[in-house]
């Protein structure tokens, strides 16, 4: 497991020194993170790296997971889709069941943190228990709620407004109808994690060999959970348009999460869309496949992220950190990571993405420059050290009302 | 003997105000309504975020007017505001209000942006922390300035003057106190808004080291 001091070589001594200075101000405070899954998906990934680093800084940080069954996660997935703006109606019975599971968890969990840090909608109802103690509560929303279904948003607002602060990943997620203080904190990647650390060429070669990829032809990759919002079928369409002109391969690789029951259904649809093209590689990765993801990203010529909606899109940051040229849709937090034609390419349609893919595959020097600029942008703005600093400031802010705080 | 120079650093936590603008008229309404910390954020945050890029991107208002609304003439008015001449945020806010009011009253187009490209008003809360570094003379000052974060440099050059109401940057004030009037004035004359923070750091270090060697 990485130590905070290990990051000095990447971000500089002064950045790490200041993390210790901020952490000192939280001495004696416990921070209890709660989410709905221990593995799979961006939230669990961030917490698995963040919590040990906070502890290394001297913060009494903890991570608990709520209990839920398949029915609960089917309801929360519906809510997730509704918050992303999909036209789904979450029934009254489903909302009742959501509350029931949250109340069971309230009874079973010890909500002991001086700061209780709830991640995403699944455990949002735990805040009902806050009357019983004087601690601070934060709700961290990792999803895009810029155009949610009104009924679901109205239901959640009743909970959000009971938090001291609500944290969002992009400015466009801000809402005028929330009473809680709204904070902007982008998520991050960990440059020392298995998924992002430097890899010897031999490891990259062995992974590409295992998945039968031809290193002599361009490899176009999208790494994502198998989810409708990641538009895997759209990616196949992009590939088919380009394949007519450039002999390339497509890799669609990803896994699932215990709180996402839709994955297998999406995977089936992708497999039927692929038919018998041997140059399309559908790779289902189990949760412990970070090394494979790392190697596949590093072996790629161009990385795509054709999301229709995106909480943030950390796979973009992962690819940029590896200095890969990325073409991604301008949704959620992706425009924060990519400045069009400087640190990557922003596309708005399947046709546009295919056009840009042709361009980058034909102009490798330009593509390489985009990748290098992207890596520096990630270094300065989207590494875990910046994320920790923002969280430390957020925790400290709960105890200070003024705009300028002298510590 | 004068007191040493105590280095501080600062961190921002960004708040979202839930207020958006779709056209210059709404931008005007927003600029009038938001707290000073929002004016500060939108005119200063780029200095820290893009420290590796040169030239610096403009302030957020100018960027939105030019890149999103394509109101280039109005955007350039915002872009060319000499921020270093404004000693507080309210005077800066007044300047923005006058520019937008003049534009709208002279028949300027109140163009809508495309959905999804609204201007989102943000603000920031600032945390100021003392660093364990004190310079007692110019040589020590240069050594410490080389190793502090750019946030520390930023705090002493921008934050103190614009938000704490002190008349000059912290470095120049201290230098005057130790009888280095000439060096203090040289640093005061710099326009820190038109260079990267790393360039600014190098320039100040060069000035100080030059003075030590003279």
Average pLDDT over residues B106-133: 94
Mean pLDDT, chain B, whole residue set: 90
A228-262 confidence digits (pLDDT tens): 889 999 999 999 999 999 999 999 999 866 666 77
- The pLDDT value given to residue A133: 63
Q: In chain B, what is the greatest distance between 2 CA atoms, to the nearest angstrom?
A: 61
Average pLDDT over residues A84-104: 93
- The pLDDT value given to residue B55: 45
The answer to whether the bond into B55 is cis (omega within 30° of 0) is yes
Burial of A277 (0-12, 13-18, 19+ CB in 10 A): middle
Comparing CA positions, the residue from B117, B88, B119 lying closest to residue B24 is B119
Complete DSSP assignment for B19-74: EEESSHHHHHHHHHHS-HHHHHHHHHHHHHHTTTSSSPP--HHHHIIIIIS--HHH
B109–A contact, CB cutoff 8 A? no
Asked if A174's CB is within 8 angstroms of B14's CB, the reply is no
CA distance B21 to chain A (A): 12
The answer to whether A343 and A215 have CB atoms below 8 angstroms apart is no
- The pLDDT value given to residue A225: 87
Band the pLDDT of B1: cuts 50, 70, 90: very low
- The pLDDT value given to residue B56: 52
- Strands ordered across the beta sheet of A280-284: A280-284, A249-254, A219-223, A302-305, A326-329, A345-347
Option in A172, A381, A405 nearest B49 (CB): A381
**Kindly report the CA angle at A13 between A12 and A19, in degrees rounded to 5?**
105
* Across A15-19, A45-49, A267-271, B44-48, least confident range: B44-48
User: Alpha-carbon distance A83 to A150, whole Å?
Assistant: 8
Asked if A172's CB is within 8 angstroms of B120's CB, the reply is yes
**Kindly report the CA angle at B167 between B166 and B170, in degrees rounded to 5?**
65
User: Alpha-carbon distance A52 to A58, whole Å?
Assistant: 10
Q: Tell me which of B165 and A90 has the higher pLDDT.
A: A90
Q: What is the ipTM of this complex?
A: 0.90
Average pLDDT over residues A263-288: 88
Burial of B188 (0-12, 13-18, 19+ CB in 10 A): middle
Option in A14, A175, A394 nearest B13 (CB): A394
B37–A contact, CB cutoff 8 A? yes
Band the pLDDT of B115: cuts 50, 70, 90: confident
HSE-CB at A98 with a 13 A cutoff on CA atoms is 24
Burial of B86 (0-12, 13-18, 19+ CB in 10 A): middle
User: Alpha-carbon distance B116 to B54, whole Å?
Assistant: 28
Asked if A177's CB is within 8 angstroms of B129's CB, the reply is no
Asked if B20's CB is within 8 angstroms of A22's CB, the reply is no
Asked if A404's CB is within 8 angstroms of B13's CB, the reply is no
Q: Which of residues 100-139 of A touch B (CB under 8 A)?
A: none
B2-25 confidence digits (pLDDT tens): 689 999 999 999 999 999 999 999
- The pLDDT value given to residue A154: 94
Coil, helix or strand at residue A327: strand
Question: Phi/psi of residue B16, each to 5°?
Answer: -100, 130
B16–A contact, CB cutoff 8 A? yes
Query: Which of B9, B11, B41, B54 should be substituted to probe chain A, the one whose Cβ sees the most A Cβ atoms within 10 Å?
Result: B11
- pTM for the structure as a whole: 0.90
Angle of the B89-105 helix axis to the B36-49 helix axis, nearest 10: 100
Average pLDDT over residues B108-115: 92
The residue in chain A having the minimum alpha-carbon distance to the alpha carbon of residue B150 is: A14
- The pLDDT value given to residue B54: 41
**Kindly report the CA angle at A43 between A38 and A49, in degrees rounded to 5?**
75
The answer to whether B124 and B58 have CB atoms below 8 angstroms apart is no
Query: Which of B15, B16, B41, B130 should be substituted to probe chain A, the one whose Cβ sees the most A Cβ atoms within 10 Å?
Result: B16
Complete DSSP assignment for A345-405: EEE-SHHHHHHHHHHHHH-HHHHHHHHHHHHHHHHHHSBHHHHHHHHHHHHHHTT--SSEE
* Across A101-105, A199-203, B149-153, least confident range: B149-153
Average pLDDT over residues A193-221: 97
A406–B contact, CB cutoff 8 A? yes
Asked if B37's CB is within 8 angstroms of A172's CB, the reply is no
CA distance B103 to chain A (A): 27
HSE-CB at B130 with a 13 A cutoff on CA atoms is 5
* Across A92-96, A98-102, A141-145, B208-212, least confident range: A141-145
Report how far Cα A273 is from the mean position of its chain's Cα atoms. 26
Burial of A178 (0-12, 13-18, 19+ CB in 10 A): buried
- The pLDDT value given to residue B53: 47
The answer to whether A335 and A348 have CB atoms below 8 angstroms apart is no
Percentage of residues in chain A with pLDDT exceeding 90?
A: 81
* Integer angstrom CA distances of residue A178 from A74, A138, A143, A165, A354: 26, 14, 16, 10, 39
SS (H, E, C) B124-140: EEEEEEEEEEEECCHHH
Coil, helix or strand at residue A162: coil
User: Alpha-carbon distance B207 to B209, whole Å?
Assistant: 6
* Most confident among A12-16, A393-397, B69-73 (mean pLDDT): A393-397
Average pLDDT over residues B155-169: 80
The answer to whether A54 and A48 have CB atoms below 8 angstroms apart is no
Average pLDDT over residues A67-79: 94
The answer to whether A363 and A303 have CB atoms below 8 angstroms apart is no
């Amino acid at each position: 497991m990485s130590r905070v001091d290990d990051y000095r070589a990447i971000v500089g001594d002064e950045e790490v020194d200041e993390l210790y200075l901020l952490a000192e101000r939280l001495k004696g405070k416990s921070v209890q993170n709660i989410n709905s899954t221990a593995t799979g998906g961006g939230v669990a990934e961030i917490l698995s790296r963040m919590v040990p680093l906070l502890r290394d800084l001297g913060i009494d940080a903890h991570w608990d997971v709520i209990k839920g069954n398949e029915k609960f996660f089917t309801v929360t997935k519906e809510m997730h889709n509704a918050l992303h703006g999909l036209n789904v109606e979450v029934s009254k019975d489903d909302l009742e069941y959501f509350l029931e599971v949250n109340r069971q968890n309230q009874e079973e969990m010890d909500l002991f943190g001086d700061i209780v840090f709830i991640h995403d909608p699944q455990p949002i109802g735990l805040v009902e228990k806050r009357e019983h103690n004087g601690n601070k509560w934060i709700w961290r929303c990792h999803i895009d709620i810029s155009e949610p279904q009104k009924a679901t948003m109205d239901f959640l607002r009743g909970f959000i407004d009971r938090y001291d602060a609500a944290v969002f990943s992009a400015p466009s997620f801000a809402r005028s109808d929330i009473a809680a203080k709204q904070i902007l904190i982008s998520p991050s990647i960990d440059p020392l994690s298995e998924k992002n650390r430097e890899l010897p060429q031999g490891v990259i070669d062995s992974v590409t060999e295992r998945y039968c990829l031809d290193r002599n032809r361009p490899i176009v990759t999208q790494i994502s959970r198998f989810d409708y919002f990641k538009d895997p079928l759209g990616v196949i369409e992009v590939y088919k348009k380009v394949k007519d002109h450039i002999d390339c391969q497509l890799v669609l690789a990803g896994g699932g999460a215990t709180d996402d029951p839709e994955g297998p259904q999406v995977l089936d649809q992708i497999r039927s869309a692929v038919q018998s093209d041997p140059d399309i590689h559908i790779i289902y990765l189990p949760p412990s496949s970070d090394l494979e993801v790392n190697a596949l990203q590093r072996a790629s010529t161009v990385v795509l992220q054709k999301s229709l909606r995106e909480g943030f899109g950390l796979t973009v940051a992962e690819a940029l950190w590896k200095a890969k040229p990325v073409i991604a849709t301008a949704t959620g937090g992706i425009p924060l990571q990519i400045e069009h034609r400087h640190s990557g390419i922003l596309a708005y349609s399947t046709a546009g993405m295919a056009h840009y893919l042709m361009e980058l595959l034909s102009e490798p020097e330009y593509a390489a420059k985009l990748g290098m600029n992207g890596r520096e942008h990630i270094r300065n703005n989207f590494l875990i050290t910046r994320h920790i600093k923002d969280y430390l400031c957020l925790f400290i802010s709960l105890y200070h009302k003024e705009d300028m705080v002298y510590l | 003997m004068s007191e040493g120079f105590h280095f501080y650093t600062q961190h921002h936590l960004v708040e979202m105000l839930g207020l958006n603008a779709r056209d210059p008229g709404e931008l005007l309404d927003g600029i009038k309504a938001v707290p000073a910390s929002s004016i500060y954020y939108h005119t200063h945050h780029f200095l820290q975020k893009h420290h590796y890029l040169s030239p610096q991107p403009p302030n957020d208002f100018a960027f939105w007017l030019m890149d999103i609304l394509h109101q280039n003439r109005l955007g350039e008015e915002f872009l060319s505001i000499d921020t270093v001449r404004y000693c507080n945020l309210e005077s800066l806010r007044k300047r923005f209000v006058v520019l937008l009011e003049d534009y709208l009253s002279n028949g300027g187009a109140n163009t809508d942006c495309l959905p999804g490209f609204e201007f989102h008003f943000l603000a920031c809360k600032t945390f100021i922390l003392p660093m364990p570094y004190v310079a007692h003379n110019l040589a020590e000052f240069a050594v410490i300035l080389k190793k502090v974060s750019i946030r520390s440099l930023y705090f002493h050059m921008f934050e103190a003057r614009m938000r704490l109401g002190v008349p000059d940057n912290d470095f120049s004030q201290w230098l005057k106190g130790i009888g280095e009037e000439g060096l203090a004035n040289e640093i005061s004359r710099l326009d820190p808004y038109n260079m990267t923070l790393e360039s600014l750091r190098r320039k100040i270090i060069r000035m100080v080291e030059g003075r030590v060697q003279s």
